[in-house]
Structure 1
Amino acid sequence: MTQVDILILSNGPGEVTTWVRPVVKALRQELGDDRFVLRISVVLSPCSNASGKEAAIALSYPEVDRVQGAEHFWQFLLWGKTFENWDWRSRGVVVFLGGDQLFPVVIGKKLGYRTVVYAEWSARWHNWIDRFGVMKAQVAARVSQKYAHKFTVVGDLMLEASSNSTDKAQSLSGGFLGAELCKRGQITDLIGILPGSKAAKLTQGIPLMLAIAEYIHSNRPQTKFVIPVAPTVDLQTLASFGDSQKNPFVETFSFSGASLIVAEDSRGKALLKTASGLTIELSQENPAYHLLSQCCVCLTTVGANTAELGALGVPMIVLLPTQQLDAMRSWDGLPGLLANLPGVGTPFAKVINWLFLRFVKRKGLLAWPNIWAQEEIVPELLGKLQPQEVGEMVLDLLAHPEKLDNIRTKLRNIRGESGAAQKIAQIVGEEVGKQGE
């Protein structure tokens, strides 16, 4: 029986959790679970948004056989050798799920493997890549006709990630589970808080969102709050961003701070308790789709989480506070590298963020659902945000559930085609069959 290697190229935390996870699962379903026949490897490339835990997360997926972290990527790209000197089978496919689309071109040539690229918005290197799985037909429409045979519309992997949650029926409810439970009074109003996973976002996000939660709770005591903790963040680190002794931005938002409470028994919940006595549950369920589907509304920063919430049909308010221009440093590519340079990163960050803010104010649309729809379906708040102003907006939505229903309906209508991971796996299977032709 022919042995095959599948090499997944990926990079950041969003790609590893929302793209790699469903694809490796689909590959096993499509091509089999016999590790002697099919071996799945993951190689990570550097990403300015990375936490350093992406390799451990990828290795935790039962479908994956081996993982190399981003710190060894350049050696692999240049010389074709991994840090642990992995062996490679004669037949294989390189699957691109994040990074630079040039990487599969180079690595595919070195290994003699076929190449498959998942492309959300743009596809490059058409003459050197064997197959493209694209999110929407518009991506393929911009391609020369002589390469059209390489393109297949597979749909949105973000939607696929949410559809593959441990409780699929709840996830596919499109956010209506939370709406119905709130209406029936079976649970109190549950608000999700998604401040991000990187320090650049947590520095402002934690104090701002917790201050908003305090304001909402003071006006609507039945409201409860939960933070689905990103797998790349430990509880102590998360809590430190709510500590005024460790984070100066706590006082910027007139927030008195919060402390971590962890129950002694293993079944107990972890909480953040604010100075006013409000407790916010910290959930380490991953992925958190079942939990998020129960939320009436979420407060979130920009990023992959807006795509996940959109795929689940959960209403959200997207927050991008700009109290300090050099605080935001989690950009992709060259801007992210410049903003994080030792010593000189701060002035670069200020300039990059100033230019970004000018662009956004002119163009708008930061959240993925809004980008997909090319209109503001979910509110985006950009600027020197104040807890009371945002809190009033949330209170208005909770007082008028028809507004939340309208958002849910629009989110459901723009969701992409489902089954992306399975279609990518089918493409990979076809390319395995072509190996050696």
Structure 2
Amino acid sequence: MKPVDILILSNGPGEITTWVRPVIKSLRELLGDDRSLVRISVMLSPCPHGTGQEAAIARRYPEVDRVQSSENFFSFLLWGKTADNWDWREQGVVLFLGGDQFYPLILGKRLGYRTVIYAEWEARWYRWVDHFGIMNQSVSDPIPQPYQAKLTVVGDLMADVAPTNLDFQALSTAPVIGILPGSKPGKLTQGVPLCLAIAEHIYEHKPQTRFLLPVAPTIDLSTLARFADPQENPFVMKLGGVSAKLIIPPDDSNKYPYLETAKGLQIDLITQFPAHDYLRQCCLALTTVGANTAELGALGLPMMVLLPTQQLDAMRTWDGIPGVLANLPIIGSNLAKLINARIVKQGRLFAWPNIWAKEEIVPELVGELEADKIGQLVLNWLEHPVQLNQIRDRLLQVRGKAGAANKIAIIVQQQLNFRGNY
């Protein structure tokens, strides 16, 4: 076997954690761990949802040999120069796992590599791209017959996350609830105080309930705690008036760090990433919009999706032109309010499981949300575990088939073989 390079193109935090991570594991299992023969590089492109920490996350993956952050992407795309002057082997594959599908086309031509794209919704540039791993058959329907051989149904990469397998009837008496308020300031500003107020309402009526909050790797605990402090975040008083302090237990206590309210509610802060093992203990989750809804859906975890509009200019993470306009200096805040107000009125679906199903499997609560009312909805769910089971089953029905990462690895191997690399 000749030495080869696999260049993975990706962009946002969701793609890095839920697409790149399983694929690189499958690539190493299939192609081996000899870095002199197979070298895996991850190159990030700019993303409107990016946190700036995607490169750091990718560097933690032991399967990866090299990582370049997004700020250096266009210099390589245009001029072929990486920040660290990477060398390139004669043969390889460019594998697209997030971003713009035009990028692998350019870089494949530049490096003389085969190109493979994981296409979740749409396969573009099919005349020139060598092969696609597609989520389902509907992606191939618009593609002309002469190019159909370039497409292989691999399933949904999100489905490789093992689902929860809980007894909801038992958990209704001692439930665990997950809280996912987001990872960016725009979402945390509203999400943290709103979820605190909801949790405290539940705690007052069902004090045996346990709460856990998986902390995004892009935010530290002290920063997170500031969003629960009314001195730092005025929306604490606008969204229920429940503040909390960060408590760091002694190292020998075997307790998690937690946020504690004045009434004694404790929310465990989970820093393990990804937190799937902890989320599998939950019977439901309170979450904002984003890739987290896809993860929760893959786990089969019932959720309530919260989109408070008390601060309409907070949501500035839309794709395309709306996202660009909402983030413009000076006028971005006012434009964000207009854009968000219009989007809310459209009645569109925001949670990924709902988008996939084209119906509201899990509730999306939009508007000037009141914590007490949402807390009561949660309590009603806990009193009716049959409903939680029904939601779980529906979530698992709409997710794609598992095994996508292994199938993508096989496609990469086939493309490496295409020119007699083995």
On whether the aligned pair clears a TM of 0.5, the verdict is yes
| Distance in 2 between residues matched to 1:140 and 1:370, nearest whole Å | 22
Alpha-carbon distance, 1:134 to partner: 0.8
Which amino acid letter does the alignment assign opposite residue 409 of structure 2? A
- Indicate yes or no: 2:257 matched with 1:270: yes
Per-residue CA distance 1:95-133 (angstroms, 9 max, x = gap)? 011111111111111111111001111111111111111
* Corresponding position of 2:377: 393
Which amino acid letter does the alignment assign opposite residue 179 of structure 1? F
Which amino acid letter does the alignment assign opposite residue 327 of structure 1? A
Q: How does 1:244-255 map to 2 (within 5 A)?
A: 244-255=230-241
Per-residue CA distance 1:151-173 (angstroms, 9 max, x = gap)? 0110011112x23xxxxxxxxxx
| Distance in 1 between residues matched to 2:115 and 2:47, nearest whole Å | 21
* Corresponding position of 1:199: 185
Q: Are 2:108 and 2:115, in contact at CA under 8 Å, matched by a contact in 1?
A: yes
Which amino acid letter does the alignment assign opposite residue 14 of structure 1? G
Q: Are 1:8 and 1:97, in contact at CA under 8 Å, matched by a contact in 2?
A: yes
* Corresponding position of 1:166: none
Secondary structure, counterpart of 2:140 in structure 1: helix
Q: Show structure 1 runs of 4+ deviating over 6 A.
A: none
Sort the Cα spacing of 1:178 and 1:77 in 2 relative to 1 into closer, same or farther, 3 A: farther
Alpha-carbon distance, 1:256 to partner: 3.1
* Corresponding position of 1:257: 243
Secondary structure, counterpart of 2:314 in structure 1: coil
- Indicate yes or no: 2:414 matched with 1:427: no
- Indicate yes or no: 2:171 matched with 1:182: yes
Q: 2:335 is matched with which residue: 348, 360, 364?
A: 348
- Indicate yes or no: 2:197 matched with 1:211: yes
Sort the Cα spacing of 1:353 and 1:391 in 2 relative to 1 into closer, same or farther, 3 A: same
| Distance in 1 between residues matched to 2:176 and 2:358, nearest whole Å | 29
| Distance in 2 between residues matched to 1:275 and 1:77, nearest whole Å | 53
* Corresponding position of 1:167: none
Q: 1:366 is matched with which residue: 350, 374, 379?
A: 350
Secondary structure, counterpart of 1:177 in structure 2: coil
Q: Are 2:217 and 2:273, in contact at CA under 8 Å, matched by a contact in 1?
A: yes
Q: Are 1:209 and 1:299, in contact at CA under 8 Å, matched by a contact in 2?
A: yes
Q: 2:279 is matched with which residue: 292, 296, 300?
A: 292
Per-residue CA distance 1:287-308 (angstroms, 9 max, x = gap)? 1111111111110111111111
Number of residue pairs matched by the alignment: 420
Secondary structure, counterpart of 2:376 in structure 1: helix
Q: How does 1:16-415 map to 2 (within 5 A)?
A: 16-160=16-160, 162-163=161-162, 174-177=163-166, 179=168, 181-182=170-171, 188-265=174-251, 267-359=254-346, 361=347, 364-415=348-399
Which amino acid letter does the alignment assign opposite residue 39 of structure 1? R
Which amino acid letter does the alignment assign opposite residue 302 of structure 2? P
Secondary structure, counterpart of 1:16 in structure 2: helix
Alpha-carbon distance, 1:348 to partner: 2.2
| Distance in 2 between residues matched to 1:181 and 1:83, nearest whole Å | 54
Q: Are 2:196 and 2:242, in contact at CA under 8 Å, matched by a contact in 1?
A: no
Secondary structure, counterpart of 1:147 in structure 2: helix
Alpha-carbon distance, 1:341 to partner: 2.3
Q: Are 2:169 and 2:385, in contact at CA under 8 Å, matched by a contact in 1?
A: no
Q: Are 2:40 and 2:63, in contact at CA under 8 Å, matched by a contact in 1?
A: yes
Q: Are 2:75 and 2:82, in contact at CA under 8 Å, matched by a contact in 1?
A: yes
Identity of aligned residues (%): 59
Q: TM-score, length-normalised on structure 2?
A: 0.96
Unaligned runs of 5+ in 1: 164-173
Q: Are 1:179 and 1:294, in contact at CA under 8 Å, matched by a contact in 2?
A: no
Secondary structure, counterpart of 2:168 in structure 1: helix
Q: TM-score, length-normalised on structure 1?
A: 0.93
| Distance in 1 between residues matched to 2:150 and 2:213, nearest whole Å | 42
Per-residue CA distance 1:224-283 (angstroms, 9 max, x = gap)? 110011111111111111111111111111223111111131644100011222110001
Which amino acid letter does the alignment assign opposite residue 358 of structure 2? Q
Unaligned runs of 5+ in 2: none
| Distance in 2 between residues matched to 1:335 and 1:77, nearest whole Å | 25
Per-residue CA distance 1:353-392 (angstroms, 9 max, x = gap)? 1222122x1xx32211112222211111111111011111
Alpha-carbon distance, 1:178 to partner: 5.5
Which amino acid letter does the alignment assign opposite residue 154 of structure 1? V
Alpha-carbon distance, 1:181 to partner: 4.8
| Distance in 2 between residues matched to 1:387 and 1:258, nearest whole Å | 16
| Distance in 1 between residues matched to 2:419 and 2:342, nearest whole Å | 47
Which amino acid letter does the alignment assign opposite residue 22 of structure 1? P
| Distance in 2 between residues matched to 1:256 and 1:354, nearest whole Å | 27
| Distance in 2 between residues matched to 1:117 and 1:275, nearest whole Å | 51
| Distance in 2 between residues matched to 1:229 and 1:16, nearest whole Å | 16
Secondary structure, counterpart of 1:298 in structure 2: strand
